[in-house]
Structure 1
């Protein structure tokens, strides 16, 4: 059974076949302002269905933040697949991962999913 995350107006939908075991709250300046809780997936696990233009923003060229072109809701991101080994190493992984704003999952009780916080403001 697929799980669907939809933006506010419903024009952008992301589908996955499983819910995450945990979600991540990042304290970087971008994530703090959009209030996202991030569910991470391999690129092939996410299907995007959009009736509106997919818009994206990047401040550094490292992370691509996507949002609905109609309502402006932050829907997902594409970033390097960082591991603990990369923190402070000055290297970026070549592999990518997708993050869905878990707050957009329809009919999912987010309180039942553990939240991990990362200090994105100071780690990178």
Structure 2
């Protein structure tokens, strides 16, 4: 059997210990790196999907969340290894925006995506 072409990417990732596994519904077109007080600490590179379209195994039994600010979203991390895997709306409304941390996937995936830089600390605008 021939090797897969080098321009294909797996859409599956996991936290460091593997207790939380994510499968994306499609290749992200862009991602965002934000410098807000939370994102700069967790180092997330966020790809966005409608809530409910990303398959997440091991959640919520292996995760814990952090809710802050206007309390409209929860940042999710593995309660075993601490990796921040995604964020989701606190309302749980299907179709709402959902962020997935691409740093939990093979580096070739995020390297293939245009990463925009967002100033969430001050101007609330793109800075690239």
| Common topology (TM > 0.5) | yes
Partner of 2:97: 97
Q: Once the 2 structures are TM-superposed, how far is the Cα of residue 107 of structure 1 from its aligned partner?
A: 6.2
Tell me the residue number matched to 1:91: none
Aligned 8 A contact 1:64 1:79 in 2: yes
Structure 1 residue 101: Cα displacement? 0.3
Question: Of 2, 8, 17, which residue of structure 1 is paired with 2:25?
Answer: 17
The structure whose RCO (Cα within 8 Å, separation 6+) is larger is 1
How many angstroms apart in 1 are the aligned matches of 2:89 and 2:118? 15
Q: 2:74 aligns with which of 56, 64, 83?
A: 64
Within 1, Cα distance between the matches of 2:80 and 2:96? Answer: 26
Distance apart, 1:106 and its partner CA: 3.2
Task: Give the length in aligned residue pairs.
Answer: 110
List 4+ stretches of structure 1 deviating above 4 A: none
SS of the aligned residue for 2:29 comes to coil
Instruction: Give CA deviations for 1:57-88 in whole Å, capped at 9, x if unaligned.
Output: 012212210000110100000149xxxxxxxx
Q: Which structure shows the bigger proportion of residues in helix conformation? A: 1
Q: Superposition pairs for residues 1-124 of structure 1, below 5 Å?
A: 3-50=11-58, 53-60=62-69, 61-79=71-89, 96-106=96-106, 108-122=108-122, 123=124
Is the deviation greater in 98-107 or in 3-12? Answer: 98-107
For the pair shown, the structure with the greater C-alpha radius of gyration is 2
**What is the CA–CA distance in structure 2 between the aligned matches of 1:73 and 1:27, rounded to whole Å?**
18
